[in-house]
Amino acid sequence: QQQVKQSPQSLIVQKGGIPIINCAYENTAFDYFPWYQQFPGKGPALLIAIRPDVSEKKEGRFTISFNKSAKQFSLHIMDSQPGDSATYFCAASPGGFKTIFGAGTRLFVKA
């Protein structure tokens, strides 16, 4: 019940495409859903986050869509660029400090 399931494991898109990464959860106590971006050799960086009282949040080219009834949320990257090639992690938290991470998606954007 504490898991966050992330898919796909890897993703290749052409420059300008819109990669979509999906996550699902079971624990209805989760109330904070962040996404992190990680480049090779670096630590993750908080990218964007959403709370379940909204269905969508946009920051620049990154959009989170949230479906509370389905217990699913997804990250869309508009007009993707080769510089977006990285590993992306979704996560969920029931409040407090114990954020649960998905297994990660390796994204490669072809030039």
Partner 1 sequence: DAGITQSPRHKVTETGTPVTLRCHQTENHRYMYWYRQDPGHGLRLIHYSYGVKDTDKGEVSDGYSVSRSKTEDFLLTLESATSSQTSVYFCAISTDIINQPQHFGDGTRLSIL
Q: Which stretches of the chain bind partner 1, using CB under 8 A?
A: 2, 4, 6, 32, 34, 41-46, 49, 89, 91, 93, 96-104
Supply 68's token pair: 């509370």
- Phi-psi domain of 83 (left: phi exceeds 0; alpha: psi -120 through 50; beta: other): alpha
Q: Minimum Å distance from CB 4 to partner 1?
A: 8
**CB-wise, 96 or 111, nearer to partner 1?**
96
Nearer to partner 1 by C-beta: 69 or 97? 97
Q: How far is the CB of 39 from partner 1 (least distance, A)?
A: 10
Q: Kindly report the CA angle at 65 between 37 and 46, in degrees rounded to 5?
A: 25
Question: Residue 30, SS3?
Answer: coil
Among the listed residues 24, 21, 18, 39, the one whose alpha carbon sits nearest the alpha carbon of residue 83: 39
Residue 97: CB minimum distance to partner 1, A: 5
Nearer to partner 1 by Cβ, of 12 and 46: the residue is: 46
Q: Which is nearer to partner 1, 13 or 49 (CB)?
A: 49
Rounded distance, CA 32 to CA 110, Å?
Answer: 32
Nearest approach, Cβ of residue 75 and partner 1 (Å): 14
